[in-house]
Amino acid sequence: MFELIKTDDSSRARLGRLTTAHGVIDTPVFMSVGTQGSVKALDPRELVEMGTQIILGNTYHLNIRPGMEIIRAAGGLHKFINWPKPILTDSGGFQVFSLATIRKIQAHGVEFRSHLDGSLLFLGPKEAMAIQAALGSDIAMVFDDCPPHTSTPRELRAAVERTMRWAGECREQPRAAGQLVFGIVQGSVDPALREHCAKALVAMKFDGYAIGGVSVGEPEPEMMRAVEITEPFLPANQPRYAMGLGTPAQLVELVARGVDMFDCVLPTRVARNGTAFTRKGSISIKAGAYKADFRPIDETCDCYACRNFTRAYLRHLLNVGEILGLRMLSVHNTRMFLKVMEEIRAAIGDGNFAAYRKEFVANYVPTQKVLLARAAAADR
């Protein structure tokens, strides 16, 4: 299922290949987020053209709208959204704890009110896995308890215990044909908790392991630390997935820490605010500096937007509220993230990852705007 092709000499970076029911994924991989069954502003053709290997869907959102009756009738999520390549579905745990109004955490799940209309819903290991089986995703995630960054040690321990117990319940549920299931390690920045949780999950023998409890508002050093204290306890011959991360430079640094899979709303979210990623950080295309700048966003980029449009035109589109503006920034940003992953894979393969990492991180200066957008995880 997962083939470890090469490990980097200079870091914990790995080159791999993950085989799923809908195709093979080269890792490290960036997964575009299609929370509600659409990667925001992009169509499947654009996604395939820019090298997308796998997209995400979300149990919490899809279960509310359009609801499972419709997706079942369509023949599963791939058919409903017409996406032929792999799909990973998040379990809804993160959303229940971040979006919904929790009414009661119970032994086998959470009773909560929909963030949309306040209706009373219940999601637990059994429900989340049944929904994901019906969605027919290639990779399903266990239903976890993802506490906020500000939790007390006592709350953290409770969340980890619950996460482990629920993971065990998820492990026993029926799956779709060929569906892989990944465990999610919680434990914040507590080394003992992370180790405890990782070991318990590994003993349950999942198909892959995610590092959760990151991208929950924590500062970057804590996020890196959470990964560093978890990764050593994850099996080398299985894929590791850091959930909800990150900026381009963070992706490079997380690959160096042994992570194979990433997802993040950043590329499409900041696009809708007029922010474009470059090798040097991000720029606000709406800025007056670009009003007569007839260069593409990035002269080295091969995306449709950079091959066809200037900064001046994109700025105009964004300023007058034309949808084409945010579409083209979504295209560019998503391609930029995918291109960085392609470069990372090539660098590991060629034995040049140390040099690539050094240069990339030195050139990339993140803006506060992007860091804040990453912290706001509402539409993950």
Identify whether 263 is a catalytic site residue.
yes
Using CB under 8 A as the binding criterion, the count of chain residues that bind a second copy stands at 40
Q: In this chain, which stretch among 61-69, 145-153, 155-163, 225-233 interacts with a second copy, using CB under 8 A?
A: 61-69
Tell which one of 21, 22, 44, 158 touches a second copy (CB under 8 A): 44
For residue 247, give both structure tokens. Answer: 């900026």
Burial (CB count <10 Å: 0-12, 13-18, 19+), residue 158: middle
Neighbouring residues of 36: CB distance < 8 A, sequence distance ≥ 6: 58, 61, 62, 65
How many CA atoms does the CB half-sphere of 344 hold within 13 Å?
Answer: 35
43 is a contact residue toward a second copy (CB under 8 A): yes
Return d(Cα 254, Cα 245) in angstroms, integer: 9
Decide: is 320 part of the binding site for a second copy (CB under 8 A): yes
The helix or strand, by DSSP H or E, that contains position 167, with its residue range, turns out to be: helix 153-171
Q: Which is nearer to a second copy, 359 or 379 (CB)?
A: 379
Among 7, 10, 114, 310, binds a second copy (CB under 8 A): 310
Give yes or no for residue 323 binding a second copy (CB under 8 A). Answer: yes
Q: Which of 185, 223, 285, 317 is close enough to bind a second copy by CB under 8 A?
A: 317
Rounded to a whole number of angstroms, the minimum distance from the CB of residue 119 to a second copy is 16
| Distance, CA of 138 to CA of 149 (rounded, Å) | 30
| Residue from 51, 66, 168, 235 binding a second copy (CB under 8 A) | 66
Q: Exactly one of 8, 90, 144, 260 is catalytic; which is it?
A: 90
Q: Which of 316, 354, 361, 369 binds a second copy (CB under 8 A)?
A: 316
Place of tokens 């080295």: 300
Q: Are 128 and 180 in contact (CB under 8 A)?
A: no
CB 364 within 8 A of CB 260: no
Q: Give the separation between CA 259 and CA 218, rounded to whole angstroms.
A: 18
CB of 138 to a second copy, least distance (A): 19
Closest approach of Cβ 303 to a second copy, in Å? Answer: 12
Would you count residue 299 as binding a second copy (CB under 8 A)?
Answer: no
Is 265 near a second copy (CB under 8 A)? Answer: no
**Shortest Cβ 123–a second copy spacing (Å):** 19
Strand ranges across the sheet with 23-27: 2-7, 14-20, 23-27
Residue bearing tokens 């490079």: 252
Which of these ranges, 42-50, 91-99, 249-257, 273-281, lies near a second copy under the rule CB under 8 A?
A: 42-50
- Would residue 51 be called left, alpha or beta, if left means φ above 0 and alpha means ψ between -120 and 50 degrees? left
d(CA 7, CA 344): 12
Question: Residue 295, interface with a second copy (CB under 8 A)?
Answer: no
For residue 134, state whether it binds a second copy (rule: CB under 8 A).
Answer: no
Restricted to residues 80-99, the positions that interact with a second copy (CB under 8 A) are 80-82
Sign of CA dihedral 9, 13, 18, 23: negative
The answer to whether 13 touches 348, Cβ cutoff 8 Å, is yes
Our CB check for a second copy shows the closer of 27 and 32 to be: 32
Beta carbon nearer to a second copy, 313 or 364: 313
- Distance of closest approach, residue 71 Cβ to a second copy, in angstroms: 9
The whole-angstrom separation of Cα 191 and Cα 300 is 41
Find the binder of a second copy among 153, 294, 358, 365 (CB under 8 A). 294
In sign, the C-alpha dihedral spanning 162, 210, 43, 45 is negative
Say if CB 261 and CB 344 are below 8 A apart: no
Least gap, CB of 35 to a second copy (angstroms): 9
In the set 8, 138, 263, 298, the catalytic residue is 263
Residue 26: active-site member: no
Per CB under 8 A, does 324 bind a second copy?
Answer: yes
Using alpha carbons, select from 259, 261, 244 the residue that is nearest to residue 30. 261
Residue 107 touching a second copy (CB under 8 A): no
Residue 68 in contact with a second copy, rule: CB under 8 A: no
Residues near a second copy (CB under 8 A) are: 36-38, 40-45, 61, 65-66, 69-70, 73-74, 80-82, 291-292, 294, 304, 308-310, 312-313, 315-317, 319-320, 322-328
**Residues acting as catalytic residues:** 90, 263
